[in-house]
Amino acid sequence: MLASVPAKDNTQWTHLYNEVVATGLCTGCTACIVACPFHVLGYEDYKPVQLQEDGPDKCAHGDKGCSLCTLACPRFREWEPEIDRLLFGEPRQPDEVMGHVDEIVLARATAPEVLMQGQDGGVVSALLIWGLENGEIDGVCTSKLSDERPWDCEPAVVTDREGVLAAAGSRYTYSPNPLAMLKAAEMGLSKLALVGMGCQASAPGSMAARRVNKWAKKVHWTFGLLCSKSFTYDGLMVEIAQKELGLDLDEIVRVNIKGKLLFYTKDGRELTYSLKKSHQYTRPGCLRCPDFTAEHADLSFGGLGQGEGWTLVIIRTPKGRDLWDRAVADGVVEWRPGSEDEGAIELMRKLAVKSLERWPSEHLSEGSRTPGLVPVAEGA
């Protein structure tokens, strides 16, 4: 069984590097980079790298007892039961393949411009705007379209309705949104919403569970996006969009995944590409990720409902339940029961199981779950 990480321990960058980065478990979420107070780590090719000379795994601050990068990591050792215990009071049961679920609903924004800008039902954006405008949050760490490359994306801090709407929609390349927390801190913001896929949505939980308090305390809402993978930019936008489909990137208005890759153009065309064929362009950091449903978010959001224009929402934590009920009461979103789309829930369950199978068995710890398997027994 894997060792657990007490809040003060002797693990440090060398352990994180050798157990998570070098083994391919690192998703590139950047929680370690955010937590490092000494600017030891940079970000290259979607991974943390040691900037200072003794690298790749020898940190002088780590040798003196600093373990913040390791403690912040949402993939280090017993990350999953530790975060589950913090958020839900206990590790999950083996059959809880989608993590802890309070309720599943299908929802959409009531404001037409939010619904129009959103990827699915615009629910993420509607809640963010509502939170900013009523002062519950003072900033959002999310992603925006890149200024450098068309249809790439990058972390961004947004603080108002216009910013949220400009950032709405999904990009299928990787944006390490936790990195925006550094900018948010520079801006003096302290009541943040973090939006991100499961790899990123577990970061506030790992920080809180292991008392990386400086950063954990800044995140008030954690919004997770369902995700089975992201793609490399060269794979998605160069090889598939430009070379295989013959698209000019300027003519694309929306990209989506609904059982296949979908590209929509300004002149109303819909071009499709097989998800199976696209697998070769999966970003390497996604290949071992076991979390399809963003299991440590307050609320998780996905687009796999059968009807267009609705977001499937998983209400998970008491905080998520509270903010959801109040947003509904304020008329920000409308909803119907998830049971109206049993096919979507079954598909979500299947995709959750598929993702779980990616996690290497030698890295299972007690309290982790695998599809249909029991957790690794004591002494195993």
Catalog residues that contact ligand FAD under the rule CB under 6 A: 118-125, 142-143, 153, 167-172, 175, 177, 195-197, 225-228, 230, 257, 301-304, 311
Report, in Å, the least distance between residue 311 CB and ligand FAD.
Answer: 4
Q: Quick count: other Cβ atoms within 10 Å of Cβ 268? A: 7
Q: Is 197 helix (H, G, I), strand (E, B) or coil?
A: strand
Report, in Å, the least distance between residue 239 CB and ligand FAD.
Answer: 17
Distances (CA, A) of 88 to 3, 51, 85, 292, 346: 21, 37, 5, 19, 23
Decide whether 91 or 178 has the Cβ nearer to ligand FAD.
Answer: 178
Measure CA 13 to chain center.
23
Report, in Å, the least distance between residue 91 CB and ligand FAD.
Answer: 25
Decide whether 199 or 209 has the Cβ nearer to ligand FAD.
Answer: 199
CA atoms in the 13 A half-sphere facing the CB of 55: 14
Report, in Å, the least distance between residue 230 CB and ligand FAD.
Answer: 4
Measure CA 15 to chain center.
23
E strands in 23-81: 41-44, 47-50
CB 298 within 8 A of CB 222: yes
Spatial distance between the Cα atoms of 261 and 172, rounded to a whole number of angstroms = 10
Decide whether 81 or 302 has the Cβ nearer to ligand FAD.
Answer: 302
CB 16 within 8 A of CB 206: no
Decide whether 3 or 287 has the Cβ nearer to ligand FAD.
Answer: 287
The length of the chain is 380
Q: Is 225 helix (H, G, I), strand (E, B) or coil?
A: strand
Check the CA dihedral 232-234-240-245 and report its sign. positive
Report, in Å, the least distance between residue 4 CB and ligand FAD.
Answer: 30
Decide whether 27 or 67 has the Cβ nearer to ligand FAD.
Answer: 27
Report, in Å, the least distance between residue 235 CB and ligand FAD.
Answer: 13
Q: Is 208 helix (H, G, I), strand (E, B) or coil?
A: helix
Query: In 78-202, which ranges are continuous DSSP H helix?
Result: 79-88, 112-117, 123-133, 161-167, 180-186, 198-201
Decide whether 68 or 333 has the Cβ nearer to ligand FAD.
Answer: 333
Report, in Å, the least distance between residue 122 CB and ligand FAD.
Answer: 4
Decide whether 81 or 118 has the Cβ nearer to ligand FAD.
Answer: 118
